[in-house]
Amino acid sequence: MPADKEIFVEVRNLHKSFGAQHVLKGVSAKVYKGETLVLLGGSGGGKSVLMKHFIGLLSPDSGEVIVEGENISKMSERRLGKVRRKMGMMFQNGALFDSMTVGQNIAFPLRMGGEKDEAKIQELVSESLEIVRLPNQEAKMPSDLSGGMRKRVALARAIVDRPACVLFDEPHAGLDPITADTIDHLVKDLQSDHGMTNVIVTHEMRSVFRIADRVMFLKEGQVYWVGAPEELKASEDPELSNFIHGRSGEEWDE
C-alpha cells in the first residue's frame, strides 16, 4: 500500500493461546483505511482468531491491538464499546435471531447501542436493506429466507450503524457460486460507494482475486506472506501455490 495510506487497525507481536494450543505466535499486521484485506490460510492457522482481536472480541495474551491510534488491548468494556461501534461483523452462519423479524434483527445493534428514535431506526434499517439489495423485507422472518438472503440480512445488520470497517468471517460458506458473486459485489460496493474498510476470512479463491486489494496468508499462527492478489497468483512459493491450486489444480478466473 502507499506510504501515505492511513492505518485503521494495527496489531503488534500478538500472541494468543487457548489452553495448550498456541494459536497466534507473534503476529504483526496492518489494515489500511478503505482497503479490502483478505486473510487466507489453512484451518487452525489463526485467521478468525486474529480478526476477532481487531474488534476486541478476544484479548491478546501479549502484544497490542491499535484501532485508529487507540490501544484496545487492555481497555475497559465501557471504552471498548465505543471502539467496537467503528466496526461491524458478519458471522459465518449469519447469527440471526430466529424469533425476530428481519427488521428487528437489523435494528438490534441500534437498540443495544441506546438509540431511542424509532423513526431513525426504521430509516437506517430500510437504507441497509437497500444497500444489500433486499428492499422492503423488514416483516419477513429468517425462516422465510434462503441461505443467501440470510447472509445479506446479516450484512445489513453489520452495517446498520454505518461502521468504518466490516469484518467478514467466511461470508461465502454454504453459498452457490451465483450467490457468492452477489456477496462479492456487495463487498466492493461497501468499499467504493460507502468508503468502508473490509477484512475478510475466506477460502473461496475465486472471490479473493475479485475483491482483495491485499492478501495476508497465515500459517501456523504467523504471517507467512502479504501482497497483492496479482502477486499471489504469480507466486512460485510451493506453500502458496499448493493452497491456491491444490483443491482443483485449475487456474482461477477473475
pLDDT per residue, tens digit, the chain (254 aa), is: 545 789 999 999 999 999 999 999 999 999 999 999 999 998 888 999 999 999 999 999 999 999 999 999 888 888 888 888 899 999 877 688 999 999 999 999 999 888 899 999 999 999 999 999 999 999 999 999 988 899 999 999 999 999 999 999 999 988 888 989 999 999 999 999 999 999 999 988 999 999 999 999 999 999 999 999 999 999 999 999 988 876 433 444 44
For the beta carbon of residue 177, count every other beta carbon within 10 angstroms. Answer: 11
Q: Could you tell me if 154 and 174 are in contact, meaning their C-beta atoms sit under 8 angstroms apart?
A: no
Would you state the pLDDT for residue 249? 35
Would you state the pLDDT for residue 246? 65
Model confidence over 190-241: pLDDT tens digits? 999 999 999 999 988 999 999 999 999 999 999 999 999 999 999 999 999 9
Would you state the pLDDT for residue 5? 86
Would you state the pLDDT for residue 252? 43
List alpha helices for the chain, DSSP H. Answer: 47-54, 77-84, 102-112, 118-131, 147-159, 177-194, 205-211, 229-234, 238-245
For the beta carbon of residue 26, count every other beta carbon within 10 angstroms. Answer: 14
- C-alpha dihedral sign at 148, 154, 159, 160: positive
Would you state the pLDDT for residue 254? 42
Would you state the pLDDT for residue 92? 73
Q: Does domain 1-86+166-254 have CATH number 3.40.50.2300?
A: no
pTM of the full structure: 0.90
Q: What is the 3-state secondary structure (H, E, C) of 98-138?
A: CCCCHHHHHHHHHHHCCCCCHHHHHHHHHHHHHHCCCCCCC
- Where exactly does CATH 3.40.50.300 map onto the chain? 1-86+166-254
Indicate the pairing of strand 70-71 with strand 21-32: unpaired
